[in-house]
Structures are given as C-alpha cells and as structure tokens.
Amino acid sequence: MEQKLNPYEVQGDIDYERIITQFGIKPLTKKELDRIEKLAGSIHPYLRRGIFFAHRDLMWCLDEYEKGNKFFLYTGRGPSGPIHLGHLVAWRFTKWLQDVFDVELWFQFTDDEKFLFKDMPYKEIQEWTKENMYDIIALGFDPKKTHFLIDTKHAGIMYPEAIKVAKKITVSTIKSAFGFTDSNNIGSIFYTSMQTVPVFLPNILRNENKPCLIPLGVDQDPHFRISRDVLEKLGHKKPAILHCKMMSPLTGPEGKMSSSNFDKEILLTDNPKTVKKKVNKYAFSGGRETLEEHRKLGGNPDIDVSYLWLQYFEEDDNKLKKIYDDYKSGKLLSGELKALLIEKINEFLAGHQKRREEAKHRLDEFIYKE
C-alpha cells in the first residue's frame, strides 16, 4: 500500500527513513541521546529503542536550557473518542520530560479541530474532551506545572493570536500539505493556525521568551512545518520538536490505530478480561502456522505486534532482548508471548484506572485560568 502520513491520513507500511527526508527532519543519533542523558541524568526507553526517532532544533533547545533559559513543553489531543494505548506513547514520554527537566507543560485540547473534521455533534466532542482530560491527568502530570488549553473555551486568548498566524498562511499551502480539496469546509483550512498558537502563547501571557519543545507523533509534524516560517515572521522562535513513530495497530504492523475501531484496539477503560480477549483474538502474530514449525523455524518478532507492543511496556532491556531471542529461536510460543503482553498491559491499566477515577475531581487544577 502506498505510504501516506499526515495528521488526517496514515496509510501503509511507514518508511521512517523516507519520512525523515520528506519532512526535512533530523534523525536522533547517539550525539543527541548522549546529550539528553547528560542533562536529564537518565535516558528514557523510548529514546533507547528508537521509538522517538527524529527531531527539529533539539540542540538549540538544549543549548538554551544549559544557559538557564528553560523550555516549556507543548503537546495535545484531539478529543473525538476514547484514548487507546497508541495515544499514550508521546504523553508518557512528555511526563518523563516534565519530571527530569522540571518544566511546564501546555496541553491543548482541540475540540474545534475534531468538530470540524469529524461527523460528530459539538456536544459529544465536549463530553470526550472531559473524558480525555481524566486520562491525561491520570498519567501523573504535575498540576502546578501543567496547563490545559481548550480551544473553544480559551478562544478569548487564543483567537487574537490565531488570526495573526492565519493571515500568513495561504489556502494552497494547506491544501497541498494535507491533501485537502475545494470541498473541505473552510474551518478545516483555518485550523492549523489554532494548533500553532500554544507554541508562543505562554510567552505572550507571561511576557517571556522561552523555547518551546513539542513531543508528538510524527503525523502531526506537517502543522508545524507550515507554521515554522510564519512564527519567525511574527517575531516568535520556531519550536523544537521530538518525533515518535506511530504505534502499530493490534491487527497488524501497518498504518496507525484508529479510535473508531474501538472493538479492535485496547482502550484505557478496558477491563483485564477484555484486554485478554482482544489481544488473543486480534494481535497480529509473527508466529508459524503449526507448533512444530514454530519450534523448528522460530517466529518473527519484527512483525509480531505483541512483541512490538512489549517495547512500549517492558522497561527492562535484558528481559525484552530475551523475549526477542526466545521468540526468534522458537523457544517462546505466540500464545506465551501474548500472555506476557496481556500481563504488562493489565498491570499498567490497573494503576491508570485508579488514578483516572481520582482525576475526575481534579479538572480544576489543570484547566488554565486567565
């Protein structure tokens, strides 16, 4: 299948080398990782494992940090449905960045975007916004250093900035970046300017000049690729960006997960039995047809979604390597590999769901107050 990757379409087997050239982003190499490790005092498994694989302007951002000009973090969520495991990759990493660098996070909820792009009533989007906020709070962000921006609620401070961005972007730029046509609605053409605002809004609100670092799924990069030149023209700094790969869907290593595929993805609200059922039924296997063949020839962990997913949940590098080797040699069976994944996911979800309940009383601590 042909490769397609932008915020509104992810299709095919994604070739990340090609993305790097196509998007004009830089691969994360040992040089960058060493520098992060030196400053952070540790290195996150998602960096070691190449899950975060590329960046823009990271070195500049770290230079500023070393000079005492701390960056703030910015990322976001389009609230049009339940959160699944794929969404968490960038946010769990963001939480780590907040902890090790002791920095603020601005988290944008793009209820406007989802209203414009999805066939869903406004009211339903508002309900998902609240539901999604619970999950994000449950990830453990520091309420003293985390600010939620909700596009329609914070329109009073965002809109005056968004129009300044919008004035410098043409319709044809947006059309070619996202594959839009003349039948797209006019709100969708404007939207990129809203996603650009949090890059500099904290500086406007506080009369500061801090760098912005955005951890994101690489499919979101096109918004910022468009706005980078504009930002400079408006007297703001371009943001630094850290890009992660798309976690593969449970059903196979191609494309990205979709939350409209509820029954085939693992949601943060799933109970242990549902997780077990979904993994056993849908997790794409790199195992052999028969037990005998598997024992003799071994499985293929590189396409096996249970193995691929364990890279996100098994923190111990040695354990992960042993799983890889045992699966490849045929010592570990597909069913056993799935069981390892199920256990890890359920362990994570048990803690998450408890924190999610607590989060329901805590929205006020996180939503930005003007």
Q: Which amino acid is at 231?
A: L
Residue closer to ligand TRP by CB (options 14, 244) is: 244
> What are residue 329's phi and psi, to 5 degrees?
-85, -15
Residue closer to ligand TRP by CB (options 239, 287) is: 239
DSSP conformation letters of 81-100: S--BHHHHHHHHHHHHHHHH
Nearest distance from C-beta of residue 87 to ligand TRP, angstroms = 8
Residue closer to ligand TRP by CB (options 73, 320) is: 73
Nearest distance from C-beta of residue 76 to ligand TRP, angstroms = 3
- 57's tokens: 């302007």
Q: Where does this chain bind ligand TRP (CB under 6 A)? A: 7, 75-78, 108, 110, 113, 195, 214, 216, 220
Instruction: Characterize 75-91 residue by residue with b for buried, 16 or more Cβ atoms within 10 angstroms of its Cβ, and e for exposed.
Output: bbbbbbbbbbbbbbbbb
Nearest distance from C-beta of residue 349 to ligand TRP, angstroms = 21
Residue closer to ligand TRP by CB (options 199, 342) is: 199
Residue closer to ligand TRP by CB (options 149, 250) is: 149
Residue closer to ligand TRP by CB (options 51, 303) is: 51
Torsion of CA 32, 37, 38, 42, to 10 degrees: 170
Residue closer to ligand TRP by CB (options 115, 307) is: 115
Cα Rg of the chain, angstroms: 21
Nearest distance from C-beta of residue 7 to ligand TRP, angstroms = 6
Question: In this structure, are residues 333 and 291 in contact, taking their beta carbons and an 8 Å threshold?
Answer: yes
Nearest distance from C-beta of residue 242 to ligand TRP, angstroms = 10
Nearest distance from C-beta of residue 329 to ligand TRP, angstroms = 39
Q: What is the separation, in whole angstroms, between the first and last Cα of the chain? A: 47
d(CA 91, CA 141): 9
Nearest distance from C-beta of residue 100 to ligand TRP, angstroms = 20
Question: In this structure, are residues 219 and 6 in contact, taking their beta carbons and an 8 Å threshold?
Answer: yes
- The partner residues of 19 in beta bridges, in order of sequence, read none
> What are residue 201's phi and psi, to 5 degrees?
-55, -45
Nearest distance from C-beta of residue 140 to ligand TRP, angstroms = 19
Residue closer to ligand TRP by CB (options 91, 312) is: 91
d(CA 363, CA 56): 32
Nearest distance from C-beta of residue 193 to ligand TRP, angstroms = 12
Residue closer to ligand TRP by CB (options 216, 337) is: 216
d(CA 287, CA 303): 9
d(CA 129, CA 111): 7
Burial of residue 261 (number of CB atoms within 10 Å: 0-12, 13-18, 19+): middle
> How many CB atoms lie under 10 A from the CB of residue 243?
26
d(CA 307, CA 300): 9
